[in-house]
Structure 1
Amino acid sequence: MDSILETLSIGLPVLVLQAGVTLALLAIGVGCYMALTPFHEMRLVRQGNVAGGIVLTGSIVALAIPLAATLATSLLTLDILLWGVVAVVLQLLAFGVTAALFRPLRRMIEEGNAAAASVVAGIQIAVALINAGAMAG
């Protein structure tokens, strides 16, 4: 029983720190994403715009997937921080490329085009899965 408590007392602070760093990276990534998009996701969601909700949810999940892989495969908090920044940058680039493919993306999302939003979210999640696989090595 003492070894279990000792392991917990050593491991729990590391778990909290690494999870906290990862959640902070997710929050920063979502903030950067929302600053880069040509539409205001939170306003659209508050207005009941389904397309805005789909795109925002897809982006959050797409940012979380490679961050989770980094958290799962890294032993050091610094590794999580460095690879997490790389993951966020790659996901933001993926959104930029996706947005370029859908030229009138702002109009489509603001008009509630759920089909376009679903494709954008799908592309982001697919890239996130590949990104996570590459990071997990």
Structure 2
Amino acid sequence: MDSSLTQALFSAELQAFASGFPVMVLHLIATLLLLAAGAAIYAVLTPWKEIALIREGNPAAAVAFAGVLVGLAIPLAVSLSVSTSVRDILIWGVATVVLQLLAFRVVDALLTGLPQRIEHGEAPAAIVLVGAKLATALILAAALTG
């Protein structure tokens, strides 16, 4: 092996990548599992069955559920960025998902009549619901950073 190739293979950058990449993948998997769990719990807790409505071609339900996914992902992403270990990610991630699900329930309760409007495929109702859920996600994400 020539010396330039040896230097490249044993460079600090490559060594940092080799040790950091598996950790990043583990952190990513933990966060994606939290996102999936949060979305599944939300789907079970909602007064309307978004997944069934989406399968039936209801665009309002699809928009509303996309808002849930992004609304859960925003604070989880911040949680991931401020955490230093998988345990940290799980602790803050579970707290984030629980708080966000509670906030979603409050939003659903405050915006009365929206679930029925979403069931009927009314896109404006879904857009308002998504806006409210994203607003709570952003505030929760900011709270995570202290």
Alpha-carbon shift at residue 28 of structure 1 (Å): 0.2
Partner of 1:124: 133
1:75 and 2:75 correspond: no
**TM-score, length of structure 2 as denominator length:** 0.89
Larger radius of gyration: 2
TM norm structure 1: 0.94
Residue number in structure 2 paired with 1:135: 144
Higher relative contact order (CA 8 A, sep 6+): 1
Report the Cα distance in structure 1 between the residues aligned to 2:134 and 2:112, rounded to whole angstroms: 20
Write the letter of the residue equivalent to 1:68: A
Gaps of 5+ in 2: 1-7
The aligned amino acid for 2:133 is Q
- Which residues of 2 match residues 32-47 of structure 1 at below 5 A? 32-47=41-56
Task: Give me the whole-angstrom Cα distance separating, in 1, the residues matched to 2:130 and 2:36.
Answer: 18
**Percent of pairs identical after alignment?**
47
Shift of 1:65: 0.2
* Alpha-carbon distance in structure 2 between the residues aligned to 1:121 and 1:21: 25
Aligned length: 137
Alignment match, 2:62: 53
In structure 2, the residue matched to 1:85 is 94
The SS at the match of 2:121 is coil
Structure-2 separation of matches of 1:77 and 1:46:
35
CA shift at 1:15, angstroms? 0.2
Gaps in structure 1 of 5+ consecutive residues: none
CA RMSD of aligned residues (A): 1.1
The one-letter amino acid paired with 1:82 is I
